Structure 1
Amino acid sequence: MASTVTPTASRPGYGQLLRTRGAWTFLLPGFAARQPFAMLTLSIVLLVQHTTGSYGAAGAVAAVTGVSMALFAPYSGRLADRHGQRAVLVPGVLLHAVAGLSLTALALADAPLWALFAAAVPTGASVPQVGPMVRARWAAKLQGSPLMPTAAAFESVTDELTFVLGPLVATALCTAVDPAAGLIAEATLTLLGGLLFAAQRGTQPSPAGAATGEHARVRHDPALRVPGVRVLIVTFLGIGTVFGGMQVSLAAFTESIGEPGLNGVLYGIFAAGNMLSGIVCGAVAWKTAPQRRLVVGYAALAVTASGLWAAHSVPVLAGLGLLVGMCIAPALITGYTLVENLVAAGARTEAFTWLTGAVALGQAAAVTVSGQFEDRLWDGAGFLVPMAGTVLALVTLVSLRSRLSAPPVGRTVARGVGHRATVPVD
């Protein structure tokens, strides 16, 4: 079979990408602002499990946070597209800090479960969508450049670096300092990082609402109306079940063997595999169509995730977790790359937040179900959730993969009164 890759020199590399004028002005604060997101779910699980003694209750509270984020994130993205990122970020990070600290105080006060749920809703709803906003800034700066796939890979690597560091930091704070330290640090870092990122006004995309003249009458269809985006949402839901299922199940496993500190290490190995494969994907110029790459890569993810429940030792679980992580990055990178061709520029932040929200929703469902499985069934039963989530998503992806093709050039994707010109998909 013919090779599906070409030498790395045929694609513009990371060095050229990072020399893009003005890139570092949003990359560094963007990294600081998105780091706390990787700490949020695990910090909630560890705190609530400590105060209630139940992984089921801890998973349920974390799930409410995830569902709330998944439901509100697309609307946050749409508002950012219309009114600018700063207008959404500043009030959002202020609300998130207050809500996160309130949730911490209630958990430490042994408040009833319904009170924790009530605090979890605004905590999740106000999670700043920094990752999608950074991707939207890349898209605005590169404008169809061949560097765009490299930028998508770089962002995936950045996301995974946060998921290497975040669980390690959250576990260390919650186990070595105080069970509440992880969530307190998350709220504080979100506030400081979010405000710093919002201050970088020069690189944010022009708000759609700021258009003038003829273009002011153009209204882009919501990203959810694009069939390919809906297929990608299901695909990313499955990826979310891997994140959520592993967070709870690894915590339960390490506690069952009397080594709770290994939780962050094992999850960090899983995230490191994700990050390393993302680096490789960004350095390779693929000949294979992205739709096919997504199907093949996702099949590998489903196969490796299906073996997690059978791993009963630290070395085996670490090795298998590394393989699972290595399969996630290609799927994420390819999915985000496809958005560039499926969605008009004026709706990209919203599209990216739908995908981010889908991961959060899948994670929330997995945290809930995995927590119940760990409480009610055998040790390691929570690992069945990533298997089920990825297999079901793979079936959907294979069945509807034709919808991931970009519409014909010249197809109208915007509408407006008196606007005759069509808007080609970027």
Structure 2
Amino acid sequence: MRVLISGAGIAGPVAAAALGRAGIDAVVHEAHPSPAEHLGSFLTLAPNGLSVLRTLDLLDPVLDAALARSTAIEFRNGRGRGLGRLSDGSHDLAPGLQSVSVMRGALQARLAEAATAPGTEIVYGKRLTGCRATGSGVVAEFADGTTAEGDVLLGADGLHSPVRTAVDPAAPRPAYTGLLNIGGVAEGAAVAPTPPETTRMVYGRRAFFGYQTDDTGRVFWFVNAPHPEVGRREAEALGPGHWRPLVTGLFRDDLPEITAILDASPDEHFLPFGVYDIATLPHWCDGPIGLIGDAAHAVSSSSGQGASMALEDAVTVARCLRDIPDPARALATYESMRRERVEKVVAEGRKRGNSKLATGAVQAFFRDAFMSVVIPMIAKKKGHSWIFDHRIDFDAPVAPAAA
């Protein structure tokens, strides 16, 4: 069997590595001309995602690239009043499964390196423009006029997936959550360090701010700001001269640490992108063509699970293709195994994002009161353990789903 994979972000290289371990030939085609190591801000890898990397012997290079452990969240309002603290419980797990923050570009580069080490091929500069099933397999078509043939095609090509359009031309578009995301790194900001392994989340009067310091004094930060939808090209055209004063102005009445962090950050870190999700997608596969990662289920960054869901997808689809000879049946089984969990995580991310839209004084008052009660209850009952505790046994055999 030969599997074509479109996209060398997170899901693509890991799916290729998992398929290689299963004895299946895989080749990854990526639109960018080279590994996009400097692309994007930072993200979180949670224990459920890290366990996938450990299973595939990909964990060490990723941990080497990590910025810091991030095993707890401390919530405050814009005046600095504490609203609660949540731990992900990963200190009780095996070494290496403690949540970490990592730059997206560095993560993608390390995964690509690790996936190609045993022989997986990643071909850059191949932007997929179309694909089709042939009856005996699939054909992928690229912008440079070339094609590739295989038995299966996996679309790991992200939020605006061309493969998704091929699977279902009527598929719902990703839904804008009402938030823009901006993130970066500050050097030399005059702020006190956050508690060890803790990300501080601040519900400001007008926007949401998260940050964590590392041992060198660097600060990794992000902003979620309510804003009308803005396309990537429009955001770039407006430039830092528009976005920097807008972002800093959102926090002028909040904790002074936020202003200090933003002032210490370079202009290029103030380019926003919209936060989107897909609540449900009618079809993840069509015969031998399937979707993984954000192509199948865009998850809001507020969930903290986008990368980990992609990793779970990658190892699951590899197991199904390993154990079920018919590619169409294998992909349908993968979808049936993943859909319920993923859609529950998407809903959780949307709920968390909605709390960041409460910017009026009355809304903020009730939000703060609610969170002061609910967060300790969640912490006591380990209410998010269903997300973090999920594990996938790669060696366990997969039975086909009912037709």
| TM-score normalized with structure 2 length | 0.27
Higher relative helix content: 1
| TM-score normalized with structure 1 length | 0.26
